[in-house]
Structure 1
C-alpha cells in the first residue's frame, strides 16, 4: 500500500470520526436540553414531545459507542431512529404553526398544549428545534453512509 493511499484513508477516517462526534454532540445536547426543560424547568412534555424523546434519547448512547469504536456502520441503526423522530417533529412543527387542524391535535385533551407559549425556548419553538436537530443528524448520517466517496 502506498503512502498516498494511507494518507487518504487517514483523512477519510478522521472525517468520519468528526461526523460521528458532531452527531453525538447534537443528540447529547438535544437530550440534555429535553431533560432540563422537563425536570429543572418543570415543563411537562406533550405526547408528541414524548414520542420525539423516545427516538432522540437512544442516539447519544449509540453514537458515543460508535465514536469510541470508530464504527462508521452506525448509520444503519441511527438513520431509522432519526427518520421516525424527524417525522414526528415535523408533524409537531406543523401542528405548532397551525398548518394542521386542531381537530386532530393529540395533545390538547390532556396535558400541555402544542401551541402555547410554553413551547417556546427563547425565539424558537421546541418542535422546530427538535425538527432541526433530527434534520442535522440525518444529514450527518447520510454523509457517514456515503463514506469517503466524492459527490
Structure 2
C-alpha cells in the first residue's frame, strides 16, 4: 500500500504528465489553426467573453504594441473583432467572432464531449472537492508566477 508521501509524489508526476499533454494538444491546435502560442492563449481568454486589450496583454504576457499586432493578426483571420463597450462607449472590447468560436471549439469539442464521461462515476461532493482543489492549485500558481522577475 502506497504511503501518503508516495501518493503526493505520484499525483505531482501525474499532474506534470497532464500539463505536458495539454501543452502538446494546444501546440497541435495552434498549428492546425495557423496560430502562435500567444494567439491561442488570447482566444482562450476570450472564450468566456469580451476583454479589453489591456487584460489580454496581461494574460498573454505581451507588451501593448505586441498585443496590438496579435489582435490585428487575429482580426485579419476573422477570429476576433473589436467592438465598443455597451456600458462605456469610450472603451473598446475584443471578442471572438462566431467563426473564431466555431473554429476553436471544433478543436476542443472531442475533449469536452469525451471528458465529461470521466466524471460519470464521481459524486457531486467528489466533483465539488476536485473543483476546489483545482481552484486552489490555480491560485497557488498565479501567486507564485507574480514573483518571477523578467530578465533585465
TM-score range, shorter chain: 0.3 to 0.5
TM-score of the two chains, using structure 2 as the length reference: 0.37
Which is richer in helix? Answer: 1
TM-score of the two chains, using structure 1 as the length reference: 0.38
